[in-house]
Amino acid sequence: MKANIRFAEVSDSSAILELIRELAAFEKEPDSAKLTLTDIEKYGFGEQPLFQCLVAELNQKVVGMALYYPRFSTWKGPTFHLEDLIVSEAYKGQGIGTQLYSKFIQSAYEKGVERIDWNVLDWNKPAVDFYEKSGATVLYEWCTVQMHRSEMEAYIKNIQK
């Protein structure tokens, strides 16, 4: 099925938020998605956007997205990080995710980035297999490290003692 893949607009914010919530449920973390509609509008479409987003539409309905942002690699230079690629459950298996993935890679290449990267859960075998089949390298030896705001606060308090 051929979807219309385009850059997101502020009017897509509620659809983006719904896809984020759907992904959180899929990843077994439904209560972890704390973003609001205001956050999406501000950080994606405000004066200083922090992310870019491609959306997939069918019959003027957003059914998928690829949300990404620029990074910089000290080894490679300009990089894009694909934060999330999600297709709504009702539309999976129709090639829409592949279309979003392809458009993201094409856009990154055209913008001259030297590398794109993203994370995938090790239990999401279909995604891991898809990425490897597409020519991407899955780095099994790397661990993802995160520090949330409350942990940052605790760390700062600790070093200020």
Would you please indicate which residues are annotated as catalytic (active-site) residues?
131
Q: Encoding tokens for residue 9?
A: 């607009």
Element (H, E) at 130: helix 125-133
What does each C-alpha distance from 71 to 81, 92, 101, 132 come to in angstroms?
7, 29, 18, 22
Distance CA 102, CA 121 (A): 20
Cα 116 to the center of its chain, rounded Å: 12
- Closest by alpha carbon to 131, among 90, 69, 89, 82? 82
Cα radius of gyration rounded to whole Å, the chain: 17
